[in-house]
Amino acid sequence: MIVNICPDYQEMSRQAFAFLIEKLQFFLSQKDRAVVVPSAGSTPRLLYRLLAENSTGQVDWKRVIIIQMDEYQSLPTGDAGSMAHDILSHLIEPLNISEFLLFLDESGALSRPLQELDAMIKELGGIDIFVHGIGENGHLGFNEPGSAFDSQTRIVELSESTRRANSRFFAGFDEVPQYGITLGLKTIWKARTNIVLASGPKKREAVNRLILEPKNVDLPASILKDHPDSHLFLDAEAAGEELVKRFGVMENEKLAGGNG
């Protein structure tokens, strides 16, 4: 896992942007279409804005297929708290992407049986790039602690810590659905490239555990520790002193790509 520590959130987003553009260009030079899974949530917001504002001409978005990472169970796609609404409004609509797969429809019902989605991903030739945030408890998507490393797309019960962290997207804690839908850790593991973004002190513990602990199911993100192409983009606040000392902070002008 390659660790990139940036001075702040803006620079982290810019570095991740440059890196993602390179990766998209690479995959689109190798195959007809690139399959991308972008996480919802606040961390990748600026990255998505940079893509919306600066990527036309660099990436042919007509050749990119978007698959949803996770969603709250039964939340209609039009609901402002839904993850579909988040990626539609911040990424899919601004980039005019016409091919995308969402878990649920406008009534909140499953768009298709969940196993069918795994089969569709296989037919598409697998996922090229995941863009992840990370939960305060180390989750990826809604793969909560304890999720099996070979888990597939499924409905999961959300932990209290996840519901509390995400209550900011709802009127209050009680409004946060108790169940979610997520692509599984096996699908993440099989992807060609995984990019993880983490910003701010609330993510420091998860990020430090990810780097310092061995791979273990109590920390779902640790599945990426020995993934062949996984890249962590942190800001200095998420990294904390110890990791900053160990990896250093990237210079602003240095291109993303890793510090080993």
Binders in 23-42 for ligand GLP, by CB under 6 A: 39-42
In the residue annotation, 106 being an active-site residue is answered as no
Quick one: which of 35, 37, 69, 224 contacts ligand GLP (CB under 6 A)?
A: 69
Contacts of 123 (CB under 8 A, 6+ apart): none
Binding of residue 9 to ligand GLP (CB under 6 A):
no
Binding of residue 132 to ligand GLP (CB under 6 A):
yes
Nearer to ligand GLP, 42 or 58 (CB): 42
Contacts of 70 (CB under 8 A, 6+ apart): 39, 40, 83, 141, 142, 180, 181, 182, 183
* Catalytic annotation, pick one of 4, 137, 143, 194: 137
Closest listed residue to residue 17, CA positions, set 55, 62, 69: 55
* Catalytic annotation, pick one of 139, 143, 194, 237: 139
Binding of residue 207 to ligand GLP (CB under 6 A):
no
Residues 153-172: x/- map of binding to ligand GLP (CB under 6 A)? Answer: ---------x---x------
Quick one: which of 9, 61, 130, 142 contacts ligand GLP (CB under 6 A)?
A: 142
The angle subtended at Cα 161 by Cα 160 and Cα 164, nearest 5°, is: 85
Stretch that binds ligand GLP, among 11-19, 72-80, 131-139, 237-245 (CB under 6 A): 131-139
The backbone torsions φ and ψ at residue 165, rounded to the nearest 5 degrees and listed phi first, read -60, -35
Whose tokens are 């839904």? That residue is 82
Residues 85-124: x/- map of binding to ligand GLP (CB under 6 A)? Answer: ----------------------------------------
Closest listed residue to residue 85, CA positions, set 97, 99, 68: 68
62-91: string of b/e by CB count within 10 Å (b at 16+)?
eebbbbbbbbbbbbebebebbbbbbbbebb
In the residue annotation, 143 being an active-site residue is answered as no
Using alpha carbons only, how large is the chain's radius of gyration in Å? 17
Q: What are the start-end ranges of the E strands in 69-218? A: 70-72, 100-101, 129-132, 154-157, 179-182, 193-198
Binding of residue 15 to ligand GLP (CB under 6 A):
no
In the residue annotation, 132 being an active-site residue is answered as no
d(CA 223, CA 216): 7
In the residue annotation, 139 being an active-site residue is answered as yes
Q: Closest distance between ligand GLP and the C-beta of residue 48, in Å?
A: 11
Question: What does the binding site for ligand GLP look like in residue numbers (CB under 6 A)?
Answer: 39-43, 69-70, 132-135, 141-142, 162, 166
Catalytic residues: 70, 137, 139, 144
